[in-house]
Amino acid sequence: MLGIMIKDFYETFCIKKNLIGMVTSVLFLFAFTLFMHNLYSLFLMVYMCLPMIGVSILQYSMEQDEISHYDKMLLTFPVTRKQIVQSKFLSILLFTLFVQLCIALPIVLVFATVFHVITFKTVILIWFIGFLLSFIMNAITSVGFFWLGNKKGTIVYMIFLVVIAIAYICTQLFYGVDIFLSLKLNQIVWIGCFLAVIFNIISYYVCLIIYQRKHS
């Protein structure tokens, strides 16, 4: 399992194309923070942009597996299909934790301590909701990639992004950014924790069934 995870991280950070894409995305987020320091930008990054990054490690690894046929070769190794799926989920988990702690958290702290757009307590709650949303997004998009593969999964992933973007824009147009601040954030955190756990458990078993049927 550790070897599969190391391979996934290598393909994400050591293949030039993937590394450039990842660095460009992070630089864009920091630039966006620097020049667009308002509540609209904060919610856009925390609730849409950053939660969608975590699953990219799965997309990158599947892309390389399909090119090199490594997914078929992997079945000849002394690892079970269950361990393969578990390693993929652990890679996504670790990468999501890295994104949220090393990229998302510093960004939201800048909004609170440097730009003074929002209070420290509120911004931490907003970040934690985005943290939970990341795992919910991972659970949903992982099923798409395991089911459809890299190419079709990426198309569905992009459609999913567009739908979320449209929903977010409509929310801003009709209700404004204050609707998020008017919600009871503490209750949302507890609901988010419950949904994140349930969605990931369901996602894991669905992905395992899909993988076993594809490689039976």
- Find the mean pLDDT for residues 96-109: 92
Residue 157 has pLDDT above 90, yes or no: no
Q: Please determine, for residue 195, whether its predicted confidence score (pLDDT) is greater than 80.
A: yes
- Residues 91-97, mean pLDDT to the nearest whole number: 94
Q: Which helix (H) or strand (E) holds 46?
A: none
Q: pTM value? A: 0.87
What is the rounded average pLDDT of the residues 55-83?
86
E strand spans, 81-179:
none
Instruction: Tell me what pLDDT residue 176 has.
Output: 65
CB atoms within 10 A of CB 172: 15
Q: Which residue has the higher pLDDT, 134 or 22?
A: 134
- What DSSP string describes 108-120? HHHHHHTS-SS-H
pLDDT in tens, 126-156: 899 999 999 999 999 999 999 998 888 888 8
The residue type found at 49 is: C
- Of 194 and 76, more confident: 194
- Res. 101 pLDDT band, cuts 50 70 90: very high
User: Quick check: 37 pLDDT over 80?
Assistant: no
Range from 24-38, 107-121, 157-171 that averages highest in pLDDT: 107-121
- Write out the two tokens for 149: 């593969």
pLDDT at position 180, please?
Answer: 64
For a pLDDT cut of 70, what percent of the chain falls above it? 95
Query: What pLDDT does residue 179 have?
Result: 63
Report the mean per-residue pLDDT for the chain. Answer: 86
Reading phi first (left if > 0) and then psi (alpha if -120 to 50, else beta), residue 172 is in alpha
* pLDDT for the residue numbered 100: 93
User: Across residues 16-40, what is the average pLDDT?
Assistant: 81
Q: Which two tokens mark 79?
A: 């690892």
Give the residue extent of every domain in the chain.
Answer: 2-214
